[in-house]
Amino acid sequence: MALRRRGQLIWAAIVVAGALLGAGSAWLVLSGAVRVSEERVGAWSIDLDRGGEDAGLYQRAVTAVQVLLALAKDEAVYFVATDDDNGDGLRGDCAYLVAGGDLPATWWSLTLYDGSYLPENDDEHLSVDATSVELAADGAWNAYLGPSPDARGDWISTNEADRPNLVLRLYVPEESVLADPTTVPVPRITRLACGDDR
């Protein structure tokens, strides 16, 4: 009887330890303390498994929390920027120049989020896309990210964004993107001014 009871206690300890390890590792990944497999391209990060069948359990959890309804990589790939090109975190009180060019996809969009959700503001300027930006003759475009509009071009509002981040979506990306996403000419993010400096 004592041997049986000892065996039950060992199994109970194993189950409790497994549950704690599983919950703890899931919390670390979902909180961002541990990153799932992703590649860096300038200020941007990308994980081609986001939304795909090859995604592991942790990647699926992160996708569910952060990206909501991600498509498979042949339909869309997602680049995420939480920092500018100098490695400084994006701030809602700062103004930035986001400068890009032709992107290897059928269509693209660039959207500002506050953490995992759209900021709760009424500016109606949270995104630009391939059809809304003003293109130069060489295909270059600029967008200004910040709390107020910039007369020089398209504006993405950071009002009410405590944890601003940008998501660049490439819809129906070219094969070169899937073969090596580090070759994508992602937009540059340059801080112009912050707070009272503007």
Q: pLDDT digits over 44-66, tens only?
A: 998 776 555 555 555 555 555 55
pLDDT tens readout for residues 145-186: 999 998 888 999 999 999 999 999 999 999 999 999 999 999
Whether 21 and 82 share a structural domain: no
Nearest-angstrom CA–CA distance, 173 and 118:
24
List b or e across 159-198, with b for residues whose CB sees 16 or more CB atoms inside 10 angstroms.
Answer: bebeebbbbbbbbebeeebeeebeebebbbbebeeeeeee
Whether 5 and 77 share a structural domain: no
Whether 3 and 95 share a structural domain: no
Whether 82 and 121 share a structural domain: yes
Neighbour tally for 131: CB within 10 Å:
9
Nearest-angstrom CA–CA distance, 48 and 1:
54
Whether 54 and 79 share a structural domain: yes
pTM of the model: 0.75
- Which strands, in side-by-side order, build the sheet including 154-157? 154-157, 141-146, 94-100, 188-194
Instruction: Name residue 186's amino acid.
Output: V
The answer to whether 160 and 119 are in contact (CB under 8 A) is yes
Residue 16: what pLDDT? 77
Mean pLDDT of all residues in 26-40: 59
Residue 169: what pLDDT? 94
Residue 186: what pLDDT? 96
Q: Which residue has the higher pLDDT, 37 or 86?
A: 86
Whether 84 and 181 share a structural domain: yes
Residue 29: what pLDDT? 52
Residue 102: what pLDDT? 92
Question: Which CATH number covers residue 62?
Answer: 2.60.120.600
Q: Structural domain tally of the chain?
A: 2
Tell me the residue range of the domain where 5 lies: 1-34
Instruction: Name residue 78's amino acid.
Output: Y
Whether 7 and 62 share a structural domain: no
pLDDT tens readout for residues 83-129: 999 999 999 999 999 999 999 999 999 999 998 888 999 888 999 99
Could you list the beta-strand ranges (E) of the chain.
39-41, 44-46, 76-81, 94-100, 105-114, 127-129, 141-146, 154-157, 164-173, 188-194
Whether 30 and 42 share a structural domain: no
Whether 46 and 85 share a structural domain: yes
Whether 94 and 170 share a structural domain: yes
C-alpha pair distances (Å), 4 with each of 60, 63, 65, 102 = 40, 44, 43, 69
Nearest-angstrom CA–CA distance, 83 and 90:
5
Whether 52 and 120 share a structural domain: yes
Whether 124 and 148 share a structural domain: yes
Half-sphere exposure of 136 (CA within 13 A, CB side): 10
